[in-house]
Copies of this chain bind each other. A is one copy, B any other.
Amino acid sequence: VRTRSLHGPSPVTKFGPKACMLQNPKAIMHIQDPASQQLTWNKPPKSVLVIKKIRDASLLQPFKELCIFLTESKNMIVYVERKVLEDPEIANDESFGVVIKKFCTFREDYDDISDRVDFIICLGGDGTLLYASSLFQESVPPVMAFHLGSLGFLTPFNFDTYQSQVTQIIEGNAAIILRSRLKVKVVKELREKKKAVQDRGEEKGLIVKNGESEISRRTVQYQVLNEVVVDRGPSSYLSNVDLFLDGHLITTVQGDGVIVSTPTGSTAYAVAAGASMIHPNVPAILITPICPHSLSFRPIVVPAGVELKIMLCPDARNTAWVSFDGRKRQEICHGDSITITTSCYPVPSICFRDPVNDWFESLAECLHWNVRKKQNHFIAEEEEY
């Protein structure tokens, strides 16, 4: 019987009768087959962060039910963002008020809960996972994500049986998929001192000051689950950015912009821009031009270990704009740089079945593979008249 594996097989290291690979023990890595990755608990989990998509009335009842279940039946400490509770439908529900009192609340960008949450439950859409990712700039607790309407790429669990499924996760092992993130460093040249001070409070990434250098620079770092997008922003004209890989200029991207995404992000904006869909266990970074001027410029997939850098092209006449999982949009001027590489802090997503089946289920849903029968009028066949 073949053991399931998501690794490729180890290649032979002898090539013909006399050649072989030079052994380099320092360059050897030890990787556990993604097909066998299981979650375990050092100690029983006690605290759970519940993230709810806002502005979606259909989620209110499931949210309340889930919180009551976690608090009352499971004795968990529930963390909820304060603004979720400000929704009048929640704030004015007196019967729910008793439960709310037991919650720990926090405010985004003010309270750091990154070392207090044992696991995360998301309710409502792929965006909830992006938001969860943004709250944890280093190690991320395991995430269990429920869809309520149709299956999403990142939300494999069906809410109907949430009680048994949550119980099972709390009690023991579960298959997980490590969704790689990108570590993105934005280095901006500071032109006005005032601006730098103002901005600091707003940034949600880690701020790494670089005070000693003569030219003042500010470095902000982000962890990105889907993609970094560099685009023309409000300008009508082509963006013009240089793309460097491990220090070498690879090409200038002329067009609406460029998307650098994880495999997880390949099924989001990148696929709309023409990229292939990459399984999240493939260790890779995807570079996708947006409406490129050059018709032969195709999306490119590079190994996870490379370091990319994006800067304005020296002769660019307009600035560019960058955003991170659709957030923190900011301008990129001459001299600024964006450095991107694979992070060592992935998002551990709990699988409904396993990394392969979960992914293909979501593809089938999103690509309408299940409605194939309806499409048979598309290309006519002679025998069908």
* Chain B residues within 8 Å of A27, by CB: 32-33, 35-36
Which residues of A (117-162) have their CB < 8 Å from a CB of B? 117-119, 124-131, 136, 139-142, 147, 149-153, 155
Which residues of A (172-199) have their CB < 8 Å from a CB of B? 173, 176, 178, 180
Of B16, B238, B296, the residue contacting A379 (CB under 8 A) is: B238
Decide if the interface of chain A is mainly helix, strand, loop or mixed: loop
**B236 A327 Cβ-Cβ under 8 A:** yes
Given contacts A12-B345, A300-B277, contact A268 B378 (CB under 8 A): yes
**B299 A296 Cβ-Cβ under 8 A:** no
Q: In the assembled complex, how far is the CB of residue A284 from the closest CB belonging to chain B, in whole angstroms?
A: 5
Q: In the assembled complex, how far is the CB of residue A90 from the closest CB belonging to chain B, in whole angstroms?
A: 16
Interface flag for A317 (CB, 8 Å): yes
* Chain B residues within 8 Å of A274, by CB: 274
**A9 B344 Cβ-Cβ under 8 A:** yes
- Taken together as a complex, chains A and B put the C-alpha atoms of A237 and B217 apart, in Å, by 29
Q: In the assembled complex, how far is the CB of residue A14 from the closest CB belonging to chain B, in whole angstroms?
A: 6
- Taken together as a complex, chains A and B put the C-alpha atoms of A282 and B39 apart, in Å, by 26
Interface flag for A55 (CB, 8 Å): yes
**B282 A299 Cβ-Cβ under 8 A:** no
Which of A65-73, A93-101, A207-215, A363-371 lies at the interface with chain B?
A363-371
- Taken together as a complex, chains A and B put the C-alpha atoms of A142 and B17 apart, in Å, by 10
- Taken together as a complex, chains A and B put the C-alpha atoms of A308 and B223 apart, in Å, by 34
- Taken together as a complex, chains A and B put the C-alpha atoms of A224 and B12 apart, in Å, by 16
- Taken together as a complex, chains A and B put the C-alpha atoms of A128 and B385 apart, in Å, by 4
Q: How many copies does the complex hold?
A: 4
Of B173, B229, B276, the residue contacting A301 (CB under 8 A) is: B276
**B256 A384 Cβ-Cβ under 8 A:** no
**B20 A40 Cβ-Cβ under 8 A:** yes
Interface flag for A24 (CB, 8 Å): yes
**B32 A24 Cβ-Cβ under 8 A:** yes
Given contacts A53-B384, A54-B383, A118-B19, contact A248 B357 (CB under 8 A): yes
Of B119, B147, B297, B382, the residue contacting A367 (CB under 8 A) is: B297
Residue in chain B with minimal CB distance to A25: B32
Q: In the assembled complex, how far is the CB of residue A154 from the closest CB belonging to chain B, in whole angstroms?
A: 8
Which residues of A (279-301) have their CB < 8 Å from a CB of B? 279, 281-284, 286, 288, 290-301
**B29 A326 Cβ-Cβ under 8 A:** no
**A381 B326 Cβ-Cβ under 8 A:** yes
Interface flag for A57 (CB, 8 Å): no
- Taken together as a complex, chains A and B put the C-alpha atoms of A31 and B329 apart, in Å, by 38
Residue in chain B with minimal CB distance to A126: B380
Residue in chain B with minimal CB distance to A357: B248
**A360 B9 Cβ-Cβ under 8 A:** no
**B272 A275 Cβ-Cβ under 8 A:** no
Interface flag for A15 (CB, 8 Å): yes
**A381 B299 Cβ-Cβ under 8 A:** no
**B39 A296 Cβ-Cβ under 8 A:** no
Interface flag for A343 (CB, 8 Å): yes
* Chain B residues within 8 Å of A323, by CB: 236
- Taken together as a complex, chains A and B put the C-alpha atoms of A33 and B305 apart, in Å, by 9
- Taken together as a complex, chains A and B put the C-alpha atoms of A303 and B304 apart, in Å, by 13
Q: 0/1 per residue, A225-237, Cβ < 8 Å to B?
A: 0100100011011
Interface flag for A76 (CB, 8 Å): no
**A379 B276 Cβ-Cβ under 8 A:** no
Given contacts A293-B272, A383-B54, contact A15 B348 (CB under 8 A): yes
Please name 13 pairs of A and B residues whose Cβ atoms are closer than 8 Å in the assembled complex, sorted by A. A6-B305, A8-B283, A8-B304, A9-B341, A11-B344, A16-B141, A19-B41, A21-B348, A126-B377, A130-B380, A149-B374, A252-B372, A293-B379
Kindly list the 3 A-B residue pairs having the minimum CB-CB distance in the complex, ordered from nearest: A16-B141, A8-B304, A152-B377
